[in-house]
Amino acid sequence: MPLREWSERNPKPIAAEGPLQRKIEALAGYLPLAGEIEGFWLEGRNRVVGTWREHREINMVMLATSLAPDGFLSI
């Protein structure tokens, strides 16, 4: 998780037991879902439904960002 790694390399801006660190840890609990969500949206039949098509542009960007987060975060 890039945010967690950054916070470990830069401990001064984030208090060890502070609210931001607690949020980082809480978000880390959702990491196992990432593969399931990506797998679901990578199946073409799941991208023909209205919930995908209605917001296709942002959905494509978010899926790409999920699959290659380092490219997005390094910009």
Q: 6 pLDDT band (50/70/90 cuts)?
A: confident
The residue segments making up the domain with residue 60 are: 2-73
Domain count, the chain: 1
Percent of the chain with pLDDT over 70: 87
Q: 75 pLDDT band (50/70/90 cuts)?
A: very low
CA distances from 8 to 4, 5, 21, 31, 45 (A): 6, 5, 10, 18, 40
pLDDT reading at 21 higher than 90: no
The predicted model scores a pTM of 0.63
